[in-house]
Amino acid sequence: MQKSISSFIEAEESQNVLLPISHTTDGIFIRDIALQKALIAKECSVFNEKLLYFFYGSPAYEPIDTQVSTSLNALYPIGIVLDIEKCPDPDRIVALDSGAFNNGIFENYFHKSTVIEQLYIDPKKENLGKFVNTFYKNNENYLHEIVKNDIKYSPLYFELNSYIQLITAQGNTKFDKRRSRVEIQYKNDINLTQSNVLLIVLPAIFLEDTDLYNLLYDEWKTTVDTYDTYHGRQSKFFHDIEEKATKFIRERFC
């Protein structure tokens, strides 16, 4: 008896417009990204394989140690938004942040026997649109976590019940938008080109590098947004990226 989130969304129609995918990382990796003109899959301790992570829509990733204040250029984060239609099909789609799930951040909402595989979605691009229609009705609501209030399902959809409880939780919690942002994983590197790079958000000072400036504006011809840097908490800079990326995505895809 299959009663999974993936099977639940199968009958739903897909959104006509798929949202882009977002990747964030520390600034130190911009050199490798620019040199190889690609995002590189790296070893993941959760799945024990090389993976490249994205969130569907705007970014939500925030490393554990981002409450540390810094003025190191290497620690200022960058964000890259890609056109999913110009990227390969994902290798894995998860209904929430798998790292946060693995670290027990959502443990109060799932039975202790629940494993991450039960939160997988069949990795077809169209299912991302189906997911949004099922739980949020439209892209705008998905970006702002406005969940539909009329979702009906069999009481034996245990993981689905837990998931809905999680994404509709109010008040003080120990989690953020990682509860509702769909995670997308690739096992291979993704080449970056003018056709798939939609937006890059980075520290304004990084544009002082001529080679990087020429790559972004002359070769990729992408939209570039920046934030100011100072000695501050890394989490603040991640939130700057999320805000700018969300604004860009709303204006283009909602």
Residue type, 253: F
- pLDDT value of residue 16: 78
- pLDDT value of residue 67: 66
- pLDDT value of residue 63: 65
Average pLDDT, the chain: 93
pLDDT band per the 50, 70, 90 thresholds, residue 195: very high
DSSP 218: I
Name beta bridge partners: 49.
44
Report, as an integer, the average pLDDT of 60-84: 85
Report, as an integer, the average pLDDT of 28-54: 95
Are residues 129 and 9 in contact, defined by beta-carbon separation less than 8 angstroms? no
Name beta bridge partners: 120.
94
Report, as an integer, the average pLDDT of 176-192: 95
Question: What are the tens digits of pLDDT across the range 144-180?
Answer: 999 999 999 999 999 999 999 999 999 888 888 899 9
Question: What are the tens digits of pLDDT across the range 82-110?
Answer: 999 999 999 999 999 999 999 899 999 99
In this predicted structure, the answer to whether residue 64 has a pLDDT above a threshold of 80 is: no
Report, as an integer, the average pLDDT of 55-66: 79
- From residue 167, alpha-carbon distances to 20, 21, 173, 208 in Å are 21, 20, 11, 41
In this predicted structure, the answer to whether residue 2 has a pLDDT above a threshold of 80 is: no
- pLDDT value of residue 174: 82
Report, as an integer, the average pLDDT of 110-126: 95
- From residue 23, alpha-carbon distances to 100, 149, 156 in Å are 16, 30, 35
Report, as an integer, the average pLDDT of 174-194: 94
Angle, CA 234 vertex, CA 231 and CA 240 arms, to 5°: 100
In this predicted structure, the answer to whether residue 42 has a pLDDT above a threshold of 60 is: yes
Question: What are the tens digits of pLDDT across the range 219-246?
Answer: 999 999 999 999 998 889 999 999 999 9
